[in-house]
Amino acid sequence: MNQINGLGRRGFLGTVAAVAGGMSLGWTIPEAQAQGAANSAATAAGGVEVGIWAVVMPDDTVVVRIARSEMGQGTLTGLAQLVADEMDADWAKVQAEYIAPEVNQANRRAWGDMSTGGSRGIRASVDYVRKGGAAARAMLVQAAATQWGVPVGECGASESVITHRPTGRTLRYGQVAAAAAKLPVPADVAVKPPAEWKIIGKGVKRLDTVEKLSGKLVYAIDLQLPEMLNASIAQCPVFGGKIGSFDAAKVMGMPGVRHVLRVDDSTIAVVADKWWQAQTALKALPIVWDEGPNANVDSASIARHLESGLDAKEAFVGLRQGDVEAGLKGAAKVVEATYGSPFLNHATLEPMTCTAKWDGTTIEVWVSSQNGDASLAAAAEAAGVPLANVKVNKHHLGGGFGRRGKQDYVRQAVLIAKQVPGRPVKMIWSREEDMQHGFYRPITMAKMKAGLDAQGNLVALHARLSGQSILAHLFPARIAGGADPVMFQGWNKEEFGYQAIPNVLIDHAMRNTHVPVGFWRGVNHNQNAVYLECFLDEVALAAGKDPLDFRLGLMGQMPKLRAVLQAAAEKAEYRKPLPAGVFRGISANYGFGAYTAAVAEVSVSKEGEVKVLRIVAATDCGYAVNPDQIAAQVEGSFVYGLSSVFTSENTVEKGRIVEGNFDTYEVMKLAQMPKVETVIVPSGGFWGGVGEPTIAVAAPAVLNAIFAATGKRIRTLPLKHHDLSHA
């Protein structure tokens, strides 16, 4: 049983660099047919694996294996729904468990990619997890048929009970699981047509809520192990700088302090019995940093650097149709505007944290990670051991938003543990460390230019991006011919919503900085949608057209985007006048495989105080696995997205991030939360993302409404720097 069948057929696709530098993991397409042999909490508790995706307990509980990470987005529940529905399991008795990264690795990655980002948790797993569920069902039904000695075709299953239709005899899944587990996993299984879904498409309760209400859920930061020590770290505040010197003797006598360690060239750790003691000593530790040349960089110099890209000759083309130069030249009217967005920290509420234990040959880590595979690889690389000598314990994340795909904190925890062999060491970053050592949403600017003909038709659009590339920082090997395709999120051939514009050029002048950047929920869509969706409002105004009609007229080639915008407009009663003092803005976007649109209603007092009164947000993600959780993601998108509109930004002085905590990096609180009405318009036929797409429409809808209210067009964020008072 300890073998994986069927991997040869679809075979080895290649390798992906698992985020940690250099170390690659073989990547194979998961197989419903693979025969598992994975020890897990569920098997240890007496369950048996039926296929690799489900463990059936004697009491019929079905424990669904989860390879992706749960960070609040609901993927754990959604994936369990997919498997359970195909299994015809009783949802009331479904649970979920993580498959351990080292188990995945030892089984030739039978459970597939563990990376959890890009709103791919469901849509990139859906084919193989559903087949896994269907395979398990087939095995269970076959086992019952064999026990009865009847043709399998006479048997059916529902809610974890198998029925022999001619005689009415029944067997429960728990009764036949052991026999089912011995059967070969069927090579080809059909999945249900949507009409037969019973659990998919239902707003069932999340599987992970109860422990979050009692304080009992153990996040990585909460881990307590025998003999555990705690570490707090300081990294050179200037990115690219190094440790000059530090005086460990000054703090070694402080309560609880055990070690003061050089973690790497730029990181110092204090290890103590308790974290608070480590943190107290770290603050008292005299450190001299060798800040290096980046200490001269500040937000103003970065702005100049980006401005130089707005008219630069050299730029990478992301989208070209027609001849934009000719289009602009022949235009009756040209509209031009320059937009910009700052760096933004992810600011997960649980700061970066990881526990590691080194015993001389193996390394074990406990971590909240968006990518279990990458954590495994990062730990192996940092410890200098083969992958087989690593164990990774996955915890639910206290927020991810893209930050915890990066494994810097895993590497640090391992480097600390290697210097303290035999005892687990839990490293927690202080909030300030977290705020000032992120992988920030990249800073970008955009110069937008549009040409209108005499009838007010948009005949040419040029968007020139200038700014920082995520791939150049994180995956330089994926920069193709110098270009970073991720810059053009929402603006590439597949995603661009306004393909009816005859002449379009979208290009990017790469302007990198020394500030580390990364994938921030809604990756680059956010900034690009602000630039395009706000600018389109400007152009509509110049053309004397209604912003909704103007957009709909350009969306001919994107019928689903058009439909989702119309759905939002209809629910918001866009054609009806609003009460005095209330103003609307709209926006639409296609990204992460889903179509989204929003209508915002705001009021702005004469003094400039903005109130977002109502949001109508429509989303078409194809199939809606769990409508209630989709609504939760849509609602939350307006918090994450509007925080960036109103208050959040990271600035740079003397080469370092200025903001240290939530007093200066302000984020939205409950009082600012608008009423969000989610409209799900699942058109079927595809599986789109959910966690990120809506963020892109949050900011521009509100900014457009603010313009309608004030006549002030805000083109640089956040709003806190702008005076919105008006007559």
Partner 1 sequence: MIKLNVNGRVHEVDAPADTPLLWVLREWLGMTGSKYGCGAGVCGACSVHLDGDMVRSCAVSVGDVGAGKILTIEGLSPDGLSHPVQKAWLAHEVPQCGYCQSGQIMAAAALLKAVPKPTDDDIDATMQNICRCGTYQRVRAAIHAAARDGAA
Residue 4 binds to partner 1 (criterion: CB under 8 A) = no
- Least distance to partner 1 from the beta carbon of 281, Å? 13
From 50-58, 504-512, 632-640, 702-710, span contacting partner 1 (CB under 8 A)? 632-640
Residue 210 binds to partner 1 (criterion: CB under 8 A) = yes
Phi, psi of 114 (to 5 degrees): -95, -10
Residue 400 binds to partner 1 (criterion: CB under 8 A) = yes
From 180-188, 218-226, 457-465, 534-542, span contacting partner 1 (CB under 8 A)? 218-226
- Least distance to partner 1 from the beta carbon of 250, Å? 18
Helices 75-87, 126-148: crossing angle, 10 deg rounding: 30
Q: How many CB atoms lie under 10 A from the CB of residue 188? A: 10
Residue 639 binds to partner 1 (criterion: CB under 8 A) = yes
| 370 vs 383: CA distance, rounded Å | 20
Residue 374 binds to partner 1 (criterion: CB under 8 A) = no
Residue 243 CA: distances (Å) to CA of 194, 234, 238, 291:
59, 10, 11, 8
247: CB partners within 8 A, 6+ apart: 285, 286
570: CB partners within 8 A, 6+ apart: none
- The HSE-up count of residue 101 (CA atoms within 13 Å, CB side) is 34
Residue 95 binds to partner 1 (criterion: CB under 8 A) = no
Q: Which of 192, 202, 274, 713 binds partner 1 (CB under 8 A)?
A: 274
| 476 vs 474: CA distance, rounded Å | 6
| 536 vs 5: CA distance, rounded Å | 54
Residue 691 CA: distances (Å) to CA of 665, 680, 696:
23, 14, 11
Residue 275 binds to partner 1 (criterion: CB under 8 A) = yes
- Least distance to partner 1 from the beta carbon of 624, Å? 16
Residue 270 binds to partner 1 (criterion: CB under 8 A) = no
Phi, psi of 270 (to 5 degrees): -105, 125
Residue 477 per-residue DSSP state:
G
Give DSSP secondary structure letters for 136-154: HHHHHHHHHHHHHTS-GGG
> What is the three-class DSSP state of 250?
helix
The token pair at 359 is: 């015993």
Residue 671 binds to partner 1 (criterion: CB under 8 A) = yes
Residue 451 binds to partner 1 (criterion: CB under 8 A) = no
- Least distance to partner 1 from the beta carbon of 512, Å? 27
Query: How many residues belong to the site for partner 1 (CB under 8 A)?
Result: 60
From 4-12, 240-248, 528-536, 626-634, span contacting partner 1 (CB under 8 A)? 626-634
Residue 635 binds to partner 1 (criterion: CB under 8 A) = yes
Residue pair 139/53 in contact by the 8 Å Cβ criterion: no
- Least distance to partner 1 from the beta carbon of 652, Å? 21
Residue 351 binds to partner 1 (criterion: CB under 8 A) = yes
Residue 106 CA: distances (Å) to CA of 39, 112, 275, 369, 371:
12, 12, 34, 19, 16
Q: Which of 46, 156, 184, 255 binds partner 1 (CB under 8 A)?
A: 255
| 639 vs 653: CA distance, rounded Å | 27
From 65-73, 88-96, 417-425, 510-518, span contacting partner 1 (CB under 8 A)? 65-73
Residue 92 binds to partner 1 (criterion: CB under 8 A) = no
Residue 224 binds to partner 1 (criterion: CB under 8 A) = yes
> Residues 399, 404, 410, 413: what is their CA dihedral angle, to the nearest 10 degrees?
-40
- Least distance to partner 1 from the beta carbon of 669, Å? 6
> What is the three-class DSSP state of 709?
helix
- Least distance to partner 1 from the beta carbon of 77, Å? 10
Residue 71 binds to partner 1 (criterion: CB under 8 A) = yes
Residue 423 binds to partner 1 (criterion: CB under 8 A) = no
Residue type, 720: K
Q: Which of 294/355 has CB closer to partner 1?
A: 355
Residue pair 403/410 in contact by the 8 Å Cβ criterion: no
| 321 vs 461: CA distance, rounded Å | 10
Q: Which of 108/571 has CB closer to partner 1?
A: 571
Residue 66 binds to partner 1 (criterion: CB under 8 A) = no
Q: Which of 39/209 has CB closer to partner 1?
A: 209
Residue 178 binds to partner 1 (criterion: CB under 8 A) = no
Separation of CA 643 from chain center:
17
Residue 399 binds to partner 1 (criterion: CB under 8 A) = yes
From 41-49, 532-540, 574-582, 665-673, span contacting partner 1 (CB under 8 A)? 665-673
Residue 702 binds to partner 1 (criterion: CB under 8 A) = no
Residue 692 per-residue DSSP state:
T
Element (H, E) at 379: helix 372-383
| β-strand pairing of 390-394 with 363-367 | parallel
Q: Which of 210/317 has CB closer to partner 1?
A: 210
Q: Which of 72, 451, 467, 591 binds partner 1 (CB under 8 A)?
A: 72
| 453 vs 334: CA distance, rounded Å | 9
Q: Which of 51, 74, 118, 688 binds partner 1 (CB under 8 A)?
A: 74
Residue 245 binds to partner 1 (criterion: CB under 8 A) = no
Q: Which of 91/550 has CB closer to partner 1?
A: 91
Residue 179 binds to partner 1 (criterion: CB under 8 A) = no
The token pair at 549 is: 């009609």
| 120 vs 563: CA distance, rounded Å | 23
Q: Give the residue from 704, 663, 455 showing the smallest Cα distance to 568.
A: 704
Query: Measured in Å, how far apart are the chain's first and last C-alpha atoms?
Result: 76
Residue 175 binds to partner 1 (criterion: CB under 8 A) = no
Residue 396 binds to partner 1 (criterion: CB under 8 A) = yes
Residue pair 717/530 in contact by the 8 Å Cβ criterion: yes
From 84-92, 126-134, 328-336, 348-356, span contacting partner 1 (CB under 8 A)? 348-356
Residue 673 binds to partner 1 (criterion: CB under 8 A) = yes
Q: Which of 208, 290, 307, 323 binds partner 1 (CB under 8 A)?
A: 208
- Least distance to partner 1 from the beta carbon of 594, Å? 18
Q: Which of 10, 250, 669, 721 binds partner 1 (CB under 8 A)?
A: 669
Query: Using CB under 8 A as the criterion, which residues of the chain lie in contact with partner 1 when the complex forms?
Result: 71-74, 205-206, 208-219, 221-222, 224, 230, 255, 274-276, 347-351, 396-401, 428, 430-431, 628-629, 632, 635-640, 661-663, 667-671, 673, 675-676
